[in-house]
Structure 1
Amino acid sequence: MRVIIALVFVLAGCLAQKPHPCKSPPLMSGALTVSTQNEELWVYAKYLYDAWGQRLRLFEFVSSDNKTFTYDILMLYREHVVYQIFDNNKTCTVSPMKGDFVPIGIPKGASLLGQAVVGSSSGPGQGLLVNSWMGDVPDVGGKFMITMTEFGCIPVSFAFQTKEYGWMVVSYFNNVIGISDPGLLNPPSFCPDSEKAADSDRKPVDFPSLFHKRN
C-alpha cells in the first residue's frame, strides 16, 4: 500500500511540473499522414529523420485531385538539394531546395497551450501525456500548433497554415528512435552528386510543395 501511495505522489509531481520546450531524438523513423483543410491533398508516408546530418527521406503515397501517386523523396538540407528517386528504372530527378533544416521540436518563442492525456487517465497504460504549443511560422506568416509527448519529446501532430491549402496537418505514428538502415539517407549510386544537383535548373521546392504532383 505504501508503494502505491508513493507512486501516486511521484506521478502527481510529474504532472504538476510545467512543461518545457524540447527537441526530438536526432535519429527517428516511422510513419506520418498529411491532410489539408481544403481536403485537396492527403498523404501517407514512411519517413527517416536525421537531425545530425540534416537529412529526411519520405516514401510517399499521395492522393491529390482525385488521383494517386507514389514518390520516393530524399532531402539533403546541408546541400539544399531534393532527390526524387525512381528505383524501377534507376534514375533520379534533382531540384534545389528552399528553406533551412528545422529540427523536430518546440521552436523558440512558442507558447504553451496546455497539457493533456491522449486516451484515458483512468488506468496505467491507457493514455499518453502530451504537451501542445502554438506560435508564428517564421518568415512565412500564419500560425503553427505542435503536440509532443511529455516523456521523450516524440512528435504527435504538427499543424501549420499555408496559402494554398489552409491548415496542413502532419500526424505521426509508429515512431521508433533510431534508423535501421542509415544508408537510405544517402543518394543511390545512379543519382548525380550534390554539386551537380545544386546547379539544377529545376524550380526550387519547399516542404509543402514536396507533396504536390511532380513530373
Structure 2
Amino acid sequence: MRQLVVLVCLLAGCLAEKPHPAEKPHPCASPPLLSGALTVATQSEKLWTYTRYLYDAMGQRVRLFEMGTYENKSFTFDVLLLFREGAMYEISYHNHTCKKMPLKADFQPLAIPKDANLLGQAVLGSSSAPGAGLLVNTWMGDLPDKSGKYISTVTEFGCIPVSTSYQTKELGWVVISYFNNVIGLEDPALLNPPDFCADAETKSGEEPKDFHSLFL
C-alpha cells in the first residue's frame, strides 16, 4: 500500500487577456522550483489524499508530505525522492527513523509533452471583470507507459499545473487538483535527507516509474 499512496502534477493565478488567435498555445514546462499543495481523488473512492509538495527540477528532487485514507483507513506519509542519487527515503520524524530504497526511474519534469494535443482554452471563473478568472489550456496525450490517456490543465501564463486526470486499472480515474502553489522553495533544506537518515541502509522494494506515478 505504501507505493500505492506515494503520488502526483501543480497553480498560480492572474487574469490576462486572451491571446490573439494567431498565438496558438503550445506545450510548455512548469517552473523548475515549485511548492504548494494538491489533492488526489479516485473514481473507486478507495484513495483520497491531501499532499504538500516541494519540487526541484534542477536538482531532480521531490518531497511529499501526505495524509489521507485508503480503503477507509487513515495514513500519513513523508517521502523524499532523489533521482540523481537513485534513492527514495521514507522518513518518520516522530520515531527519528528513515528507510532508504533504490530509485532507478528517470526524473520526469513537470511539463506538457511536445506530442500532446490541445483540447482547448478556457477561463476558470469569469472573464467579465479583472481578477475574476484564470486563463488555462487543457491538453491530452498518452501516458508514458502507453497504458492509457491523460488530460492536463495548466495556466496559459507560467505553465503552472491546475489539474491532471488519468485512468488506472486498480483505482479507475484519478483526479489530481493543485492549489496554493508558489514559484520557488521556502525551505530548500527539506529536499535533503535529515541527519538521522545518514546511516539508513538501502532496502529493496517497488519504486515509482516517474513523478506522475508516485501516488499509484
TM class by smaller structure:
0.7 to 0.9
> Is 1:177 matched with 2:178?
no
Amino acid at match of 1:203: E
1:146 aligns with 2:149: no
CA 1:138–1:208 in structure 2 vs 1: closer, same or farther (change >3 Å)?
A: closer
The structure 1 residue matched to 2:24, chosen from 4, 7, 18, is 18
Cα distance, 1:101 vs structure 2: 1.5
What corresponds to 1:201 in structure 2? 204
Q: Which residue of 1 aligns with 2:166?
A: 160
1:142–1:201 CA distance, 2 compared to 1 (3 A): same
Counterpart code for 2:89: Y
* Structure 1 letter corresponding to 2:60: Q
Structure 1 distance, partners of 2:137, 2:112, is 10
Distance of 1:155 and 1:165 partners within structure 2: 22
Counterparts of 1:14-93 in structure 2 under 5 Å?
14-16=19-21, 17-93=23-99
- Cα deviation, residue 202, structure 1: 2.8
Deviation at 1:141, TM superposition (A): 1.4
Q: 1:107 to 1:117 in 2, by over 3 A?
A: same
* SS of equivalent to 2:195: coil
**Percent of residue pairs identical:** 60
Question: Which of 135, 138, 146 is the equivalent residue of 1:132?
Answer: 138
**RMSD (CA atoms):** 2.0
Distance, in Å, in 1 between the alignment partners of 2:103 and 2:173 is 22
Q: Distance in 2 between matches of 1:178 and 1:115?
A: 26
Contact 1:72 1:86 (8 Å CA) reproduced = yes
Instruction: Report the TM-score, using the length of structure 2 for normalisation.
Output: 0.85
SS of residue paired to 1:190: helix
Query: Which 5+ residue runs of structure 2 have no aligned equivalent?
Result: 1-15
The CA deviation at 1:98 is 5.3
Deviations 1:149-191 (A, max 9, x none): 0011111001122221122111100000000111100111111
Structure 1 unaligned spans of 5+: 1-9
Aligned to 1:106: 112
Structure 1 CA distance for aligned equivalents of residues 123 and 147 of structure 2: 30
Counting matched residue pairs gives: 199
Comparing 128-137 with 88-97, which one deviates more in the overlay? 88-97
TM-score (norm: length of structure 1): 0.85
- Indicate how the Cα distance of structure 1 residues 78 and 163 shifts in structure 2: closer, same or farther if over 3 A, else same: farther
Distance 1:193 1:161, change over 3 A: farther
Structure with higher RCO (Cα < 8 A, 6+ apart): 2
**1:123 match:** 129
Task: Give SS of 2:113's match.
Answer: coil
Report how far residue 79 of structure 1 moved. Answer: 2.3
More helix by share: 1
